[in-house]
Structure 1
Amino acid sequence: MPRFAANLSMMYTEHDFLDRFAAAAADGFEAVEYLFPYEYDSTELRRRLDDHGLRQVLFNAPPGAWEAGERGTAALPGREAETRSGVERALEYAAALGCPRVHVMAGLVRPDATPAERAAHHATYLTNLASAAEQAAAAGVDLLIEPINGRDMPGYFLHTQAQAHAVVREVGAAHLKVQLDLYHCQIVEGDLTTTLRRDVPTGRVGHLQIAGVPDRHEPDRGEVDFRHLFDVVDEVGFDGWIGCEYRPRAGTSGGLGWLNDYRGEHA
């Protein structure tokens, strides 16, 4: 049966952030993920995890100036030192929280970038990821890269599964993997069943995420049959975590009928 992690950046926002750990545990979650931990001391975050019997399974490395609109630096020429120091900081938090994977965001590219400029972004991305993967390997942590749809994040450098898997193959590092968000994948390219059956067995997929399409609410409405996809996840033998990275339509706990029903059917 798939294992689900609550995304505390999107779920339980009716609570202060540090109180979301308790709320997730009360609803039966055994693991959590979120965007960034850096606003909080790692010892306080670890205490919340331990107090509520939770595992930290994912967070993002520093993304540059997030509030100013930046969405990562790994593919941005001239930001190499910042990318490296950000990965170092993320790995320090990963060690403190016992987190086995960190997502490194690529960054935004101008829509009018020339082919030469895009090639420079690609080369920078490969170099930064190779260095970061070496840092991560020494810490026993997997680095993840995630294709993100252009509707939610216009200009994001990495947007298709094929592009992400090609980057992982080019870098050739065992600790670099793909974060497959089925919400983003459906918007960009669809064909989710085939994608899972094709890519998960390669060993290059390190984490899954879900949300209803098109509105990014609970995965119980819309154009994707997640019940079917959960069966496919079992079929292909994925043994990682599925992050629930969605915005609840109303209260988080009240919207977990989809998960409670699924758990009940597979108890």
Structure 2
Amino acid sequence: MTSKPTTLPAYARSSINHCNLPAVILGGLTYQKHPVPLMIDGAMEFHRQLFRSLDEIDEASVRAVHFQDYMSSSFLLDHKDRAGFDAESQRVRRGKADYLRLLRGWMFDSDSIEGAVLKRWVESRFGLLTRNHRGPLRDFESSAYHAYQADFVRGLYNTNALEAQLDLLYSYCQYELRRRFPGQQHWSLYRGINRLESYDEVQPLADNRMMVLLNNLNSFSSDREHACAFGDSVLTAQVPLPKLLYFYDLLPGILKVEREFLVIGGVYEVESASY
């Protein structure tokens, strides 16, 4: 049994990130209990005009359309040739590689190429290292880690500022959470699992509670019954809102049926129940 993982272990974090708190702080148990806003370097400032215009729109559904239009125009998503994309010259087919494709790819398989790009983005922006992609990642020299690297490099190859698209998606998600749920700090979310021992750190507490080290990006649901379909045990976590990259009602038609949330990882106190 490992020691009590109240702080993020050194092997699960980078010393460099691109937000206002270091990984050792935002990835620890204290942050889960007492969250503060997380700001990606430059994202809100660079796109301040978008958020000013969103301030003038009362309906969330209309804001979502405005956001998607802004993404399309800012990153030339409907005119990839103007962004330098030449389909005839590509050895690797990029297709429509954008933030929406990443979300849909994650929905079908979190260990996909799209999943690798999302996990790599969390590493870069928040300093939380990927601990699982198609299996445990424990050694930077292992074939498993090299396969993970190959996935995210392929996913990022010749895309149009894909990580910057995710910066803005996260910033918009946080903006919407503040507007729709003012004053709320946590969301009770559920994750179905089969093998608790597959997690790096597990420290039992009282009353079926424990502390675990989650992967740097995870799927949770606000529907307990849906989570039950993915394992014989369900973890319940009080997830800080600043650790949400995406929630099911943010954009129309994306992750909606599953009531899915993309949760940034670290050390969490959770409750475990078997079904």
Give your verdict on TM over 0.5: no
Q: Compare relative contact order (CA 8 Å, sep 6+) and give the higher one, 1 or 2.
A: 2
| TM-score w.r.t. length of structure 1 | 0.26
| TM-score w.r.t. length of structure 2 | 0.25
**Greater fraction strand:** 2
